[in-house]
Amino acid sequence: MSRTSPPAPEASAEALPRQQRTYSIGELAKMFEVTPRTIRFYEQEGLLAPTRQGQKRIYREKDRVRLKLTLRGKRLGFSLAEIREVVMMYDAMPDGNARQLRRLLEILAEKRANLERQLEDIRLMRMEIDDVDQRAREVLRQLDPDA
Amino acid sequence: MSRTSPPAPEASAEALPRQQRTYSIGELAKMFEVTPRTIRFYEQEGLLAPTRQGQKRIYREKDRVRLKLTLRGKRLGFSLAEIREVVMMYDAMPDGNARQLRRLLEILAEKRANLERQLEDIRLMRMEIDDVDQRAREVLRQLDPDA
DNA sequence: CAAGCACTTTACGTTAACGTAAACCTCGTC
DNA sequence: GACGAGGTTTACGTTAACGTAAAGTGCTTG
């Protein structure tokens, strides 16, 4: 268990370059405020592919990023299937044939269009919320002028 | 069935002030590209409350707007329960007591915060999509320089 | 070595948001 | 008066995305 020069901060602790760091399922779960079950489920759905150390799952930086992207997608209302579609094609990119790549570009365009519509939806919903907010405050002022 | 002066464009057709227009469930369904079942379901969940003409549901402008807001909420990933929460309080506003109104303001603040996070999510996801898009195009150029 | 974590697999349960099917009205029209 | 187009209720089915429970593995710690 001896290397050569540096104090050898082997596996457990502090300031690893983050590219070599690994995570347990529990760590990731806390980190993103989800349950281990959720993470295993995402693996089962083909969104994550951690390696194993014996029986235990070992997550690398890549897996962490994937999980982050997945959860972000979820917050935006995408289904796991949609998310997988992009993520898998992304991985298949380097050796992807032209058809696959064009298909990927199509999907990306779709997603982008989707996002644009969501932006518009958010804009409108914001206005309505502001409106309701205004009215509510006014009614409150009437009821309770000293506040 | 006779009135007095104007040609009496009674119920069916063209240029009603839109405030008096009514819609059948089928009309609304096509208008928003959902099924009647969905609309009935939303009613059952307390999001719509059309009047009846005999047995048939009659939707007014107000109902149309509600449906629109509901679907917009859905596109943004809100649950029907969340949507109902806001919509119902909005309706209860005029005669709402102060507690209700403050509660409404709280909920609105939550929703707004939610929207802000979504905006950030969209921003990030856009960047990633753009990135993937770039890479895909590059790989394509390598493969197929004459396109 | 027992006890306690953190992890594993397997499997059945649950909730939201509709889909789908059956069986029944009620018009205008051929 | 049969019929087709729309509407209705009732009820069971389906899918996604996990939750929950049971039973086992492996380490390290008093």
Residue A54, token pair as written in the block? 């014996």
- Note the pLDDT of residue B124: 96
Are the beta carbons of B140 and A115 separated by less than 8 Å?
no
Burial A2-18 (b: 16+ CB within 10 A, else e): eeeeeeeeeeeeeeeee
Contact criterion met (CB below 8 Å) for A133 and B87? no
The region of weakest confidence among A93-97, A113-117, A122-126, B76-80 is: A93-97
Q: Which nucleotides of D are covered by protein (CB under 7 A)?
A: 6-9, 16-20, 25-26
Residue A88, token pair as written in the block? 């898998």
pLDDT tens digits along B89-117: 888 888 878 888 998 999 999 999 999 99
What residues contact residue B81 under an 8 Å CB cut-off, 6+ apart? none
Query: What's the mean per-residue pLDDT of chain A?
Result: 87
- Note the pLDDT of residue A16: 63
Q: For B98, which of A94, A128, A144 is closest by C-beta distance?
A: A144
DSSP B61-130: HHHHHHHHHHHHHHHTT--HHHHHHHHHHHHH-TT--HHHHHHHHHHHHHHHHHHHHHHHHHHHHHHHHH
Share of chain A above pLDDT 70, in %: 88
- Note the pLDDT of residue B27: 98
pTM (predicted TM-score) = 0.85
Phi, psi dihedral angles at A118 (to 5 degrees): -65, -40
pLDDT tens per residue across all 147 residues of chain B: 334 444 444 444 455 677 789 999 999 999 999 999 999 999 999 999 999 999 999 999 999 999 999 999 999 999 999 999 988 888 888 887 888 899 899 999 999 999 999 999 999 999 999 999 999 999 999 887 776
- Measure in Å the smallest separation between the Cα of A83 and chain B Cα atoms: 11
The region of weakest confidence among A4-13, A32-41, A68-77, B9-18 is: A4-13
A15 pLDDT band (50/70/90 cuts)? low
Say if residue A12's pLDDT is above 60.
Answer: no
Give residues 125 to 144 of A whose Cβ lies within 8 Å of B. Answer: 125-126, 128-129, 132-133, 135-137, 139-140, 143-144
Say if residue A5's pLDDT is above 80.
Answer: no
Inform me whether the C-beta atom of residue B1 falls under 8 Å from chain A C-beta atoms. no
The distance (Å) linking the CA of A50 with the C1' of C9 is 16
Contact criterion met (CB below 8 Å) for A28 and A37? no
**Mean of the pLDDT values across residues A7-29?**
72
Within window 98-137 on A, which residues have Cβ closer than 7 Å to strand C?
none
**Mean of the pLDDT values across residues A119-124?**
96
pLDDT tens digits along A17-27: 777 899 999 99
- Note the pLDDT of residue A72: 96
Rounded to 10 deg, the angle between the A36-44 and A61-75 helix axes is 90
> Which residue would you say has higher pLDDT here, A78 or B17?
A78
